[in-house]
Amino acid sequence: MDLLTNPVKDYDWGSTTELPALLGLPPGRTMAELWLGAHPSGPSTLERGGRTYTLAEVIGADPVGELGAATVDRFGPRLPFLLKLLSASRALSLQVHPSDEQARQGYARRDPHYADASAKPEMVVALTEFSALAGMRQGPQAADLLARLGLPELGPVVAALARGDLTGALDTVLTWPRPARHGLVAAVAAAARGLGGQDFGATARLADQHPDDPAVLAPLLLRRHTLAPGQALYLPAGVLHTYLGGFAVEVMGASDNVLRAGLTGKPVDVPALLAVTDVSAQPEHVVADETGAYRPHCPQFRLHRLTGGTLRLTRALPRILLCTRGAVTAGDSITLHAGQSIFLPARHDSLTVSGEGTAYCAEPGI
């Protein structure tokens, strides 16, 4: 068992409160994500024999010993999941993730949008109230919401939605002529403020944050999901989504394949995003079973949640254990306090985690 030191990502949508508080740091620094894993874009580090190694280096030196034969047979010599803490004070980019096949093909042709040859399914489990937009609304419902704005220039979008052409409607919105974008967003914001309500309120807030981005219409095009602490949302490949705000544990396939279409200062590529967006795909609300395990339909990961009591881990699988509240003890040797985490190699095929705190344990979903 190895204590981990984990990198922080300071994206501009992060918060200055939740992550610093959990890590015992003074507020003020913007912290968006804490990464726990072996992905090359931000690997955790650990100490063995008086030396510091990345988790990727440790795994590379002994894949079967660290990951177990079952994981190596299924995914090769790499940790198949990435665990994160995500703290958002404003919306993330409007984005979608490709399937395994799309990722392999994109990576093989050296498409710059594909940093990895694997998919990035993901699941968030709320630590505070957490808001997301994910999956397209039914066309007539979205058409009605946009029509209520009373903007004639949105007529073609409303018509496309009404006849069920969701892809066409998205394409029209996201490729809106650049000279006309500021005027459109200003008109949308004014109309949305006049209408009120959750969806129009979210649209107005996004317009304040992104005054030249037609993707501010996302709250009227996508379904809203509000998670209470402990509730989980799973997003398979092809689901268009953005997270609006909140603090959550996030676990995903160990991939950085993200195609963006708006609500960001990062590069966007609408045709590439639409090519992998499945307008019929929807996220899944995942309920923990009687053992506290969230088991979405993907092999890359599952997540155990301990909220006091005992968690018994069996099978030779690699795991990352993160404490988010109070303290928990792994085996009879390591006690973790809030913000601390450990890597559990597959050679620890039987382990008990106990305590009155709250902890999350990620492992392959095989």
Residues noted as catalytic = 260
The two tokens of residue 171 are 């394409």
Instruction: Quote the CA–CA distance of 174 and 126 in Å, as a whole number.
Output: 29
Closest CA to 224 of 106, 292, 135: 135
Instruction: Quote the CA–CA distance of 244 and 210 in Å, as a whole number.
Output: 13
The two tokens of residue 51 are 């030396």
Tell me the helix, strand and coil percentages in the chain, rounded to 5.
30, 35, 40
Amino acid at 288: A
- Phi, psi of 307, deg, nearest 5: -125, 70
Instruction: Quote the CA–CA distance of 346 and 359 in Å, as a whole number.
Output: 19
Burial of 52 (0-12, 13-18, 19+ CB in 10 A): exposed
- Phi, psi of 230, deg, nearest 5: 95, -15
DSSP structural state of residue 360: E
Q: DSSP 3-state assignment of 194? A: helix
Q: Tell me the residue length of the chain.
A: 366
